Amino acid sequence: MQFYSRRKKLIGNSQTEQLYGHCLQFYGQPPIENISLSEFETFAVDRLKLLKTVENLGVSYVKTSEQYTKKLDAEFSNLNFPYKIEADDRKPQTGPSEYEKRRKDHISHFILRLAYCQTEDLRRWFIQQEIDLFRYRFNDLPSKNIREFLEYNNLHYHTISIDEKKNLMDKLINSSFAVSGSTVDCKDFYKVPFQDALDLVRTRKVYLKGGYVYIPHQDIVTIVLNDFRTRLSKALALTARSLPAVQSDERLQPLLNHLSHAYVGQDYSIQKSIGKISLEQIDPLSAKSYPLCMRQLHRGLRDSHHLRHGGRMQYGLFLKGIGLTLDQALQFWRSEFVKGKVDADKFDKAYAYSIRHMFGKEGKRTDYTPYSCMKVILSNPPSQGDQHGCPFRHSDPELLKQKLQSYKVSPSGISQILELVKGMHYQLACQKYFELTHSIEDSGFSLNHPNQYFMESQKLLVGPGAGVKVEVKREDNPATKPPNPSPHQTPGPGNLPQEVAAEITEDLDSFFQDA
């Protein structure tokens, strides 16, 4: 993309009409046109707001529920993104045309690719939100448009013959809740290699035979999503490689930096309070300020003088996040393990290494960051003998109830929590637990990290000034220069005037603070 400071008027011609012939796209081709810097910025920020909404709604509501779609619809129209096929394109419209909305969609996606391709975390976040966004829009398409979309993008999945459908009738019906006898009779079924339908295979929502899954037409969205995810993942990797060229452009760099810094969330990896926690404080802290998952791990460790690998990672990194030093950590774990079946020598040989590894003192010296709620909930579910995971997600509701009762949570509080758990709102359940144990009405924050829980709890109990202080570490990108334009820059046609640049970054800052 080339950039000029003056706004270039776009003239719609037949070529560009074809480019945006469909309201949904795979973003295969980057845009080839000139746009102004201010349009660049507006598009990017708008899309980011949209993705942020997608993320927030995804945590609070089930992704296909009515509230979710209603709220997302509203956001779409507020930000002028294309979301529904306009019934009649010739209807006089106020505001931007469908074409302009699609163009914005296209360009803003590619801008955000630049901002979000640099690290694994950023990429993962971006891909997740883009996928949710795509799914939402795809589900909205009427089936004629779906067929068009598939053809347009060369996804040739073969349908099975009527005879084969008859033979497999029972199996097809029993493989999926949504498939009935009439579905098999009337709708097309596609035979897709299982590698292209991993989500359906993983959850056993589809009939699998000889390495192929048999998918009813209505489920083709999952396949398409997989394809989208793979393409986007590869594209981001490629983008990362050509990033240095883009970053050397001083006009874009401040914006891209701000975009990527503000939305990944705090990672709690650097603490100002290192060493401010003593080992004696850990037991009382576990009862007062630990989220339930860590309280469970701590209890498990004290009771059996041992934790398995998953538990050691989750708890060990959390302790690092609340301010334990490496030496304290070694002392803490050793003293506990030694009470169990492990003697001091064995501890030093087998476990000390992995603790030092956690602190970035071994191996490839990665300073691992404490797990966020998403990570705990979604990855590495506990099995027989494990204590890690999220109790709201992984514990049997009966056992969870007993545990909450033993922690003196009121019966009405417990049932509220269990309701949230039933609705799969695990983080909201934990937030409720926070509110009940701290005797407040509203926690005032949106929980997404165990260390955040701890920090907020300490703030409440000890006061914001004193006690554990956490310096929030933003995703640091060593390759970028400082965000302020250099003082030697003179205002000119090719550069942003300093005040404007500062203004932009201020605006962005204040916008980004609200989350």
> By CB under 8 A, which span of 77-85, 200-208, 243-251, 330-338 interacts with other proteins?
200-208
Report whether 240 contacts 477 (CB < 8 A): no
Residues 28-87 within binding reach of other proteins (CB under 8 A): none
Distance separating alpha carbons of residues 16 and 34, to the nearest angstrom = 13
Is position 399 an interface residue for other proteins (rule: CB under 8 A)?
yes
Report whether 81 contacts 101 (CB < 8 A): yes
Question: Among 201, 221, 326, 502, which residue interacts with other proteins (rule: CB under 8 A)?
Answer: 201
Count of chain residues binding other proteins (CB under 8 A): 35
> By CB under 8 A, which span of 40-48, 99-107, 336-344, 396-404 interacts with other proteins?
396-404
373 is in an annotated binding site: yes
Distance separating alpha carbons of residues 216 and 171, to the nearest angstrom = 13
CA distances in angstroms from 221 to 150, 202, 218, 338, listed in the order given: 10, 16, 7, 53
Distance separating alpha carbons of residues 72 and 53, to the nearest angstrom = 7
Residues 365-394 within binding reach of other proteins (CB under 8 A): 380-387, 389, 391, 394
Is position 194 an interface residue for other proteins (rule: CB under 8 A)?
yes
Strands (E), 271-310: none
Burial (CB count <10 Å: 0-12, 13-18, 19+), residue 317: buried
Is position 266 an interface residue for other proteins (rule: CB under 8 A)?
no
Q: Considering only CA atoms, which of 79, 4, 86 is closest in space to residue 40?
A: 4
C-alpha angle 134/138/141, rounded to 5°? 150
Pick the closer one to other proteins by CB: 120 or 280. Answer: 120
> By CB under 8 A, which span of 106-114, 198-206, 279-287, 496-504 interacts with other proteins?
198-206
Question: Among 67, 93, 139, 195, which residue interacts with other proteins (rule: CB under 8 A)?
Answer: 195
186 is in an annotated binding site: no
Is position 396 an interface residue for other proteins (rule: CB under 8 A)?
yes
Distance separating alpha carbons of residues 266 and 515, to the nearest angstrom = 12
Report whether 392 contacts 421 (CB < 8 A): yes
441: Cβ–Cβ under 8 A, 6 or more apart, which residues?
Answer: 435
CA distances in angstroms from 435 to 32, 295, 296, 428, listed in the order given: 52, 16, 18, 10
23 is in an annotated binding site: no
Is position 209 an interface residue for other proteins (rule: CB under 8 A)?
yes
Is position 284 an interface residue for other proteins (rule: CB under 8 A)?
no
Question: Among 28, 92, 95, 210, which residue interacts with other proteins (rule: CB under 8 A)?
Answer: 210
117 is in an annotated binding site: no
Is position 398 an interface residue for other proteins (rule: CB under 8 A)?
yes
3-state secondary structure of 440: coil
**In the bound complex, what is the minimum distance in angstroms from residue 394's beta carbon to other proteins?**
7
> What torsion do the CA atoms of 180, 182, 183, 188 make, to the nearest 10 degrees?
150
Question: Among 173, 264, 270, 326, which residue interacts with other proteins (rule: CB under 8 A)?
Answer: 173
Pick the closer one to other proteins by CB: 210 or 284. Answer: 210
Is position 158 an interface residue for other proteins (rule: CB under 8 A)?
no
Is position 478 an interface residue for other proteins (rule: CB under 8 A)?
no
Q: Considering only CA atoms, which of 389, 373, 276, 369 is closest in space to residue 320?
A: 369
**In the bound complex, what is the minimum distance in angstroms from residue 300's beta carbon to other proteins?**
9
Report whether 133 contacts 81 (CB < 8 A): no
Pick the closer one to other proteins by CB: 105 or 219. Answer: 219
Question: Which residues define the annotated binding site for [4Fe-4S] cluster?
Answer: 293, 373, 390, 430
Residues that bind other proteins (CB under 8 A): 171, 173-177, 194-195, 198-199, 201-204, 207-212, 380-387, 389, 391, 394-396, 398-399
